[in-house]
Structure 1
Amino acid sequence: MRGSGPAGAAEFLREFVKSPTTTAAVGPSSRFLADQMVAPVPGRGEPVVVELGPGTGAFTAAIQQRLGGRGRHLALELNARWAADLGRRFPDVETVCADARALPELMAERGLRADVVVSGLPWAAHTAVDGVPLVRLVADVLVPEGAFTQFAYTWTRWAPPARRQLRDLRATFEETVISRTVWRNVPPALVYLARRPR
């Protein structure tokens, strides 16, 4: 899979150097982290899965594998080059070059509500705009039993943006669980799983 080998890592690092505030990571996520991130995607039925900040597609591939041709998969990527590349590599994914804050309008246009939202966005993307944090917009497009996943590197967990994000998750969802450390990711990471929007 492109995006997980040396070429993909180099591409990711180039984008991070160009724009560290909009590129969440210095390299593509491992399949071990991807497995944790997509675990809430239902194994049956026709779920609607939204992906925010898919980057080079590590989570995209895992979502597609879990869906196995079922449901609908919408991916919002701000980086135009990555969005175009994802569209070519994953023709079954509806890839849109857009900011994550456009999510409510994009879902309304399609008449959709999401079963799961998977986010690879940096903490900076979650900063409140006009007093509204991004997690509130995510919660508003989820079905009542919906789930949201977000990863973070272990060394950022205690930083002020991460603490603010956890407060927002707990205020917005009935349940928020933090995974054990995924050591087989570089750097090691955690997954925040939030369920049932308030």
Structure 2
Amino acid sequence: MILERAKFIHKFVQSPREIGSITPSSRFLAHAMLKEIPWNQAKTIVELGAGTGVFTREIAKKVSPSFQTFIFEQDDDLRTDIETQIPQFTYLKKAEELQNTLKRFHIPKVDAIISGLPFSNFSPSFTKEILDQVQSSLSDNGSFITYQYSLQLRKELKHRFKNVQINFVPWNLPPTFVYICSN
């Protein structure tokens, strides 16, 4: 755990706009992010921006062997570390290639997309590109769940999704807003 935090801080110092936070997400945030997913009904899940794998490890505890799980992480070192720990998932690099990846694996839609991407660090056009792909990749009953350190993304998500629930997680550093979006 200490080594993981040290590596995360090092990655943040190297690329703060890509990492987005100086510390990994807390278990409280992981719980808030994953509690709304209907694990007994879902078949496919995607994680965007896995970082050190805090959510990935929790997903691994909840999915059955029949699940198709895709984990996207831009940083090669972080992605390799998670893949070594949890090899049963499919690991990819670029979240902006979500739709192409799903097509390559013959998956028309997914049940849930969990995101740790730092949207506030992205250009508006890149944020739009990612959210367009998220929206078109979700099944009719699918959920998009992301967290941010501000309410900056609220207007955009409310414009895109019929239902947007926002929960506050004070037991994270920094405290965080979790957006649970569905149609």
The alignment's TM-score, normalised by the length of structure 2, stands at 0.92
**Structure 1 unaligned regions, length at least 5:** none
Which of residues 173, 176, 181 in structure 1 aligns to 2:164? 176
Which of residues 21, 25, 35 in structure 1 aligns to 2:17? 21
Q: Alpha-carbon deviation of 1:70?
A: 4.1
SS of 1:41's equivalent in the other structure is coil
State the distance in 1 between where 2:147 and 2:123 align.
12
* Matched ranges for 1:83-122 at <5 A: 83-97=79-93, 99-112=94-107, 113-122=109-118
Q: 2:42, 2:111 within 8 Å by CA — same for their partners in 1?
A: no
Look up the equivalent residue of 1:141 and give its one-letter code: S
Q: Alpha-carbon deviation of 1:192?
A: 0.6
State the distance in 2 between where 1:126 and 1:171 align.
18
For the pair 1:142 / 2:138, whether they are aligned, the reply is yes
Look up the equivalent residue of 1:51 and give its one-letter code: E
**Equivalent residue number for residue 39 of structure 1:** 35
**Equivalent residue number for residue 128 of structure 1:** 125
State the distance in 2 between where 1:125 and 1:66 align.
31
State the distance in 1 between where 2:146 and 2:42 align.
22
The alignment's TM-score, normalised by the length of structure 1, stands at 0.85
* Matched ranges for 1:5-20 at <5 A: 5-20=1-16
Moved over 4 A (4+): none
Look up the equivalent residue of 2:86 and give its one-letter code: F
RMSD, matched Cα: 1.7
State the distance in 2 between where 1:105 and 1:191 align.
27
